[in-house]
Chain A
């Protein structure tokens, strides 16, 4: 048993995948709670998919993929914000229009180049088993900065998410807090997408936080449970993919989804039994 856990660790690529995946799990688990509480899931999804055109252009110009992705993610976030700010367009409508447009632009440019299918697959599903040292440092730095920022601004993040009107009355910069959260989201998605793929980053942003929200009504506990579930999914997913010889990114996402299903069914069965007893 112990040997089964330790033997993959002897392999450099597995160690790197595990460390990279755990860092992404911690940052996504933390940020994800606020994404889910604010109902920003689709914004995360939209940013994730809109990374494509920037990455493709950066790839063609042989520039930094990270910067390319970040620029296009930030443009997308800003456009969605501007379109839905004064309430003339619903969030979900703005997101739908902008993200499919950006994705199509990326596919269009990419299809003009030769290695279309392979590159798209590695962007969508990540290259978990080939995280570069630079990517690793980037994600490590980002994880530290974002976790510290969430800790420092926890009170303000909660107050602006719960009752933005009251927060404005207190003089809190509600729009700046929302903008900061969007910026952190864009950074996380771009850095994470390079390492573990768009699919895994979006899933780790939403699913563990959603799992935690079914289990507790206490916010600090929810953050801890969200990080815990994300870390669990990465560890089980990566070992599973090693022994079953399947795609690591998809395995991690599937474990996270199964955790959610178990938590959801568990709490509903318990609640059902409690209400039957009464």
Chain B
């Protein structure tokens, strides 16, 4: 059992032993005040330890889907989005969501270590300072992503790939079991993309469930991003292994 002071959420670790990390049941989502649905009748289940790519054109609903799973948007019906077999009403403490990099102010005066420590805050709670165990977890996460030597640098001084790895370290420090990444490869050079993807493969081998949204067809086709691809354009066009999901007629349907 783990306690999360900010939400007074008591989390039962037995739940994370469930088979499925994510279950979507006939999920339809419309933003308030918009005429068209952002997501239409989306059903899919993702088992624990799977690595899944969410592929689709701009405006296909990739970010919307990730935000619904992250609990950042309200679920339209209770139970339409289930994370570790529980309805995602509150933010699940073992889910980590990495927003697109443009959404964070990277000129902010915090060090890499400070950023990773923020992953521990949910366990630290009001009026308390991080304990020795928190510092140890931060060191361990930084070592895992090869950023320990750069721990004291300002986050803005790092390259795009290093920043992405710092945010992954924050998710590790948070002890996340489910990683939701919104366009983590966007704006990175090929070498940085490869280092991030290699890190994700390593994390999957340790049992992490990973969902990555991307519009980078080439790396998805190469099988670098995931073993399973969900091709999305408001509804699910295909849900299969990369070579099966990315057949020409399916892509035409998704990108038409």
Which residue numbers of A lie inside 8 Å of B, CB to CB?
Answer: 37, 152, 155-156, 158-159, 161-163, 165-173, 213, 216-219, 222
Task: Answer whether residue B221 sits at the interface, using C-beta atoms and an 8 A cutoff.
Answer: no
Judging by beta carbons under 8 Å apart, are A218 and B95 in contact?
no
Knowing A155-B121, A166-B118, the reply to whether A218 touches B111 (Cβ < 8 A) is yes
Judging by beta carbons under 8 Å apart, are A161 and B121 in contact?
no
Knowing A162-B104, A165-B97, A166-B170, the reply to whether A171 touches B109 (Cβ < 8 A) is no
Judging by beta carbons under 8 Å apart, are B71 and A162 in contact?
no
Closest chain B residue to A169 by CB distance?
B91
Judging by beta carbons under 8 Å apart, are B108 and A37 in contact?
yes
Task: Answer whether residue B99 sits at the interface, using C-beta atoms and an 8 A cutoff.
Answer: yes
Knowing A158-B110, A163-B118, the reply to whether A168 touches B104 (Cβ < 8 A) is no
Contacts of A162 in B (CB 8 A): 104-105, 108, 110, 115, 118
Closest chain A residue to B152 by CB distance?
A218
- State the CA gap A23–B110 with chains docked (Å): 28
Question: How distant is B158 from chain A, measured CB to nearest CB, in Å?
Answer: 12
Contact with A along B76-98 (1 / 0, CB 8 A): 00000000000000110101110
Question: How distant is A268 from chain B, measured CB to nearest CB, in Å?
Answer: 15
Judging by beta carbons under 8 Å apart, are A222 and B109 in contact?
yes
Judging by beta carbons under 8 Å apart, are B109 and A169 in contact?
no
Judging by beta carbons under 8 Å apart, are A216 and B170 in contact?
no
Which residue numbers of B lie inside 8 Å of A, CB to CB?
Answer: 4, 6-7, 9, 70-72, 90-91, 93, 95-97, 99, 103-105, 108-111, 114-115, 118, 121-122, 124, 126-127, 129, 154, 156-157, 170, 174
Judging by beta carbons under 8 Å apart, are A166 and B97 in contact?
yes
- State the CA gap A222–B96 with chains docked (Å): 29
Judging by beta carbons under 8 Å apart, are B95 and A169 in contact?
yes
Question: How distant is B112 from chain A, measured CB to nearest CB, in Å?
Answer: 11
- State the CA gap A274–B93 with chains docked (Å): 44
Contacts of B154 in A (CB 8 A): 217
Q: Can you list 14 residue pairs at the A/B interface with Cβ under 8 Å? A: A152-B127, A155-B124, A155-B129, A156-B121, A159-B118, A159-B121, A162-B115, A166-B170, A169-B95, A171-B122, A172-B6, A217-B156, A217-B157, A218-B111
A-B CB proximity, top 8 nearest: A171-B7, A171-B6, A217-B154, A170-B122, A217-B109, A169-B91, A162-B108, A165-B99
Closest chain A residue to B174 by CB distance?
A170
Contacts of B114 in A (CB 8 A): 158, 219
Knowing A155-B121, A166-B170, the reply to whether A213 touches B109 (Cβ < 8 A) is yes
Contacts of B9 in A (CB 8 A): 171
Judging by beta carbons under 8 Å apart, are A169 and B71 in contact?
yes
Judging by beta carbons under 8 Å apart, are A165 and B103 in contact?
yes
Contacts of B127 in A (CB 8 A): 152
Closest chain A residue to B129 by CB distance?
A155
Contacts of B72 in A (CB 8 A): 165, 168-169
Judging by beta carbons under 8 Å apart, are A168 and B91 in contact?
yes
- State the CA gap A172–B124 with chains docked (Å): 12
- State the CA gap A172–B8 with chains docked (Å): 11
Contacts of A159 in B (CB 8 A): 118, 121
Judging by beta carbons under 8 Å apart, are A169 and B110 in contact?
no
Contacts of A213 in B (CB 8 A): 109
Closest chain A residue to B96 by CB distance?
A169
Contacts of A155 in B (CB 8 A): 121, 124, 129
Closest chain B residue to A218 by CB distance?
B109
Judging by beta carbons under 8 Å apart, are A171 and B4 in contact?
yes
Closest chain B residue to A161 by CB distance?
B108
Closest chain B residue to A166 by CB distance?
B118
- State the CA gap A159–B126 with chains docked (Å): 12
Knowing A161-B108, A162-B110, A163-B104, the reply to whether A170 touches B96 (Cβ < 8 A) is no
Contacts of A152 in B (CB 8 A): 127
- State the CA gap A170–B7 with chains docked (Å): 8
Contacts of B129 in A (CB 8 A): 155
Question: How distant is A140 from chain B, measured CB to nearest CB, in Å?
Answer: 24
Contacts of A217 in B (CB 8 A): 109, 111, 154, 156-157
Contacts of B99 in A (CB 8 A): 163, 165-166
Question: How distant is B52 from chain A, measured CB to nearest CB, in Å?
Answer: 20
